[in-house]
Each structure stands twice: as C-alpha cells, then as structure tokens.
Amino acid sequence: MKRTPVHIITGFLGSGKTTFLNHFIRERLPERIFVVENECGAVNVDGALVIDGVEEVVELSAGCLCCSLADGLLDILREASQKTDEYDRLIIETTGIADPSSIIQVFLENAAVEKVFELQQVISLVDAGQVEGWLKEADEALRQIALADVLLINKVDMVTANDLARVESLLEGINPNAVVHSGEKGVFPIEDILQTGTIKPASVEKIIDKPPHFHETAEGENNSHKITSFTISFPHPLNLESLQLDLNRIVHLYRDQVYRVKGFIAIPNYPNRVILQSARSAFVATDGTPWEPNDNREGKLVFIGRGLQRKAFEKMFNRHMVDK
C-alpha cells in the first residue's frame, strides 16, 4: 500500500509558516491537502489558509504544550488513516514555540502510524531578521533548526546581503546536513523541497536525549516558566486610531517580552474583521473577512511572550473599547 506523505512545518514565532503553507497548497493544486494546525492560543487568524486544495483542517489544540501533543496527534492520525483516499498529503503546522521532536517521534516510532503515513521532511522556516535574537533566547528555536531537513530562510527582504550570509553560516553551524533555501513571502521551490529526504532517526535521538524542557501552559500567567501565552477577547469594537499609540508602545517598551501578537478585532462602523499582528517589530493591520449580520463582533488577540502580565495588556486594550 502506498503510504501518505507527511510534511512537518516548524519555525519560530512569526517566521512565515502559514505564508509558506499557503504557497505550498497553491503550488500543489489540484492536490488535496489534509492540514493539522497546532495553533497556540484560541484564535485562528481569520482567513489565514488558502481554502482551495485543503481537504480538511484539523486543530491540534494543546495550547502551547508540545510535550502532550503526541496523544492528540495520534487521535487525529487514527481518524485520518480511515480516509486516506480523500487527500494526497498531510501537513502539520506546529506552533511557533513547539519543540518538534515529539511530533517527529510519533511518525518514527509508532508502527500503526508508520504503516499508513510516511514522514517525508521536516521543514523549518527561519526569520532572516530575527533568528539570531531568537537563538539567544529560546532553546526551541535551536531545536527547530537542528531537527529540520530543509531550512527556509524567509523574509530576506528585511535584511542586508551581509546579514543573510551571517545567518546562513549560523545555520550551517547548527545543522550542516539541512538543505537551505532563502527567499521571501513564503515562496520557495516546492519541487526541490519535496525531493529532500526524511531526517534520520539517529540525528533526532541526539537531540531528544537532552533533559526535558518545559513550556508555560496555554492560559498561564505564572511567570516561573519561560514562555507565556494567553488570549484576550473584546466584546466591543476597538478604536483603532487610539489603539495605535498603545501598539507602538508595546513594540517599543515590551519588545523583549512580547514575541508575537495575532488575532482580529472589530472596529466601529467597519464591515470586516481587522487582522492585527506583530512579530516583534511593528504591528500590522490588514483587512479580514466580513462580519455576518448575526456575528457578535467579538475580537480576539493571542499574546505570546516571556513573563507577560495578562491583566496589564487587558487594561491597555480595554481602554480603547467603544460601544457597538
């Protein structure tokens, strides 16, 4: 029996995983892709995935905890294995702070899974401008790079040629076996990537043998762990103009703490969701899909960072709430 190819997409926060996944899906049309999203936090950013070509999207929601992912993933794979004739490939997009080793293990060590699915590559997106900083701060960033078969250096538009050369040699030092491509907006040669073979179990073990690490739980405020994530909901629209000041403040004052914000909000008298996100540098607001007449126009933002105080951010954002 032909096994279904599986591709794992990793990469630190905001590196361009979803952008690349969309490119992948478009390039492989008319193939049908089964997508497993391991989103961190409760918000699936509005309209994030290309719909044509996606057979099914399943959320593997274990907050930010990669350690407990294996069971949830096994359940998903068990169901997916009943209908492999409905899709051509399975792609798992991990959260930006996941250590992918537990996900890789499921494919390499579980006989029932291995019978149906074939892990073909672990693809890691690397943010050209941020990777050096992330590597200093987060073990997960290192492990994502070390465990990859393919490293995609994304956002080269944000760096100079010298910066890029430095990043390339940094990656070479961490994972000399990986195939490296550089590019922007998630556009990379899919055919070449698909030719790159699977990671060898031996090289995974070297990393898995390290002492266990720990993450913050999904909604935690306890700062004893490294990475915190929480979701704030807004029952009313927000005034984007006044909010802008606080967004700038977050970028400048909390730069070292706030790793990623993403979600959508409602603004008064505007028919569409406004998608709001930052990956450390500036906040970007883009147009989302329209609110339906029966929607209650509730906005949601996921915050991921180090030692974040939920209440402080809630207070900051709630100041900009206006009547419906």
Ligand X SMILES: Nc1nc2c(ncn2[C@@H]2O[C@H](COP(=O)(O)OP(=O)(O)OP(=O)(O)O)[C@@H](O)[C@H]2O)c(=O)[nH]1
Using CB under 6 A as the criterion, which residues of the chain lie in contact with ligand X when the complex forms?
11, 13-19, 96, 125, 154-155, 157-158, 184-186, 260, 262, 277, 279, 284
> Which is nearest to 277 in space by CA: 18, 99, 1, 5?
18
CB nearer ligand X, residue 4 or residue 124: 124
- Asked if the peptide bond before residue 201 counts as cis, ω within 30 degrees of 0, the response is no
Cβ proximity to ligand X, 113 vs 304, nearer residue: 304
Comparing CB distances to ligand X, the nearer of 113 and 129 is: 129
**Residue type at position 224:** S
Nearest to 145 by CA among 107, 176, 118: 176
Round to whole Å and give the CA distance between 266 and 234: 8
Closer CB to ligand X, residue 116 or residue 187? 187
Task: Report which residue type is found at 148.
Answer: A
Choice between 116 and 142, CB closer to ligand X: 142
Closest CB 322 distance from ligand X, rounded Å: 26
Residue 185 CB, shortest distance to ligand X, in Å, is 4
| Cβ closest to ligand X, residue 113 vs residue 152 | 152
d(CA 49, CA 19): 8
The nearer residue to ligand X, 16 or 100, going by C-beta atoms, is 16
Least distance to ligand X from the beta carbon of 60, Å? Answer: 13
What's the closest the beta carbon of residue 125 comes to ligand X, in angstroms?
6
Give me the least distance between CB of 187 and ligand X, in Å please. Answer: 8
Q: How far is the CB of 85 from ligand X (least distance, A)?
A: 29
The structure tokens listed for 23 are: 């490119």
- Residue 122 CA to residue 186 CA, distance in Å, equals 16
Minimum CB distance to ligand X, residue 264 (Å): 13
Task: Read off the tokens for 258.
Answer: 């706030």
Torsions phi, psi of 37, nearest 5? Answer: -105, 125
Task: List the structure tokens of 321.
Answer: 């709430």
Closest distance of CB 258 from ligand X, Å? 12
C-beta nearest to ligand X: residue? 96
**In which order are the strands placed within the sheet that holds 150-154?**
54-59, 33-37, 89-93, 4-11, 117-127, 150-154, 179-182
DSSP conformation letters of 201-248: HHHHHHHHTSPP-----TT---TTSSEEEEEEEESS-B-HHHHHHHHH
Cα dihedral value 189, 194, 195, 201, nearest 10: 130
With respect to ligand X, which residue has the nearer C-beta, 157 or 172? 157
